[in-house]
Structure 1
Amino acid sequence: MSKNRNNRLSGEMKRVIADIIRKEVKDPRISDLMSVTDVNVTEDLKFAKVYISVYGDSEPTLEALQSAKGFIRREVGRNIKMRITPELIFVKDDSIEKGIYMSSLIDKVINKEAGKRDDNETESE
């Protein structure tokens, strides 16, 4: 399968899965502050990794999605016409936390450099 087709299918699955979770899955363990950040479909269309970002504790949301994955898969098959509906694998997406951590490290370095410049300017005067 071409890379372009795989990317389009991943994007369409991302949209459909997010709609299904938001509108049709009625599990109270699923956080309102949850989003589907990405979907990666394998070349043979047997598996799809669904990356989930949750604000706060993500474990109850991931457990709820695991228990509803058969329903979600069936609904994906109904909404997207495919010969094979991939098995869904829900994965916590921690890229946002990693980005925040990297941003804080960068801010620390900038503040440290600014402190050194201030020290150098006061010594030269």
Structure 2
Amino acid sequence: MKEKSYRMEKVNTMLKKEISDIISQEYEVSKENFITVSVVDTKADLSQADVYISALKDEDLIIDALNRESGHIRYILGKRIRIKKTPKLIFKKDIYKLNI
């Protein structure tokens, strides 16, 4: 069981870095508004990854736009990483930030 959680932690870290890079390189909004990928939580079967985002302004609009573009982001992600299955991306407001 411990091995699996270590593996998922590595997957989540890799996805966080790559998604952050894709957003900053591919989308103009990230240049105008500081967007941070704070946490990625991937299901064990790699079917879905919840991507928690924070932004300085218009956070809800940005999350809606990223969810509309999630298929394209997933496509780019699949070309960049070696993983059995590229998960469906669901962008959400950073709940971890709200608990501080």
* Interval of TM-score (by shorter of Structure 1 and Structure 2): 0.7 to 0.9
Task: Compute the TM-score of the two structures, normalised by the length of structure 1.
Answer: 0.71
Q: Could you tell me which amino acid in structure 2 is paired with residue 7 of structure 1?
A: E
The aligned residue for residue 99 of structure 2 is 98
Which segments of 5 or more consecutive residues in structure 1 lack a partner in the other structure?
A: 100-125
Larger Rg: 1
**Structure 2 unaligned blocks of 5 or more:** none
Task: Report how many aligned residue pairs link the two structures.
Answer: 98
- Structure 1 CA distance, aligned partners of 2:30 and 2:80? 25
| Cα offset, 1:30, TM superposition | 8.0
Q: Percent identity?
A: 32
Query: Does the 8 Å contact 2:24/2:30 carry over to 1?
Result: no
1:75 aligns with 2:76: yes
Matched AA of 2:86: T
Higher strand share: 2
Let me know the Cα RMSD of the aligned residues. 1.9
CA–CA distance in structure 2, aligned partners of residues 70 and 60 of structure 1: 17
Structure 1 residue 47: Cα displacement: 0.4
**Structure 1 residue 25, shift from structure 2 partner:** 2.5
* Aligned amino acid, residue 33 of structure 2: D
Q: 1:65 to 1:31 in 2, by over 3 A?
A: farther
Q: Name the CA distance, whole Å, in 1 between partners of 2:86 and 2:73.
A: 11
2:25 is matched with: 23
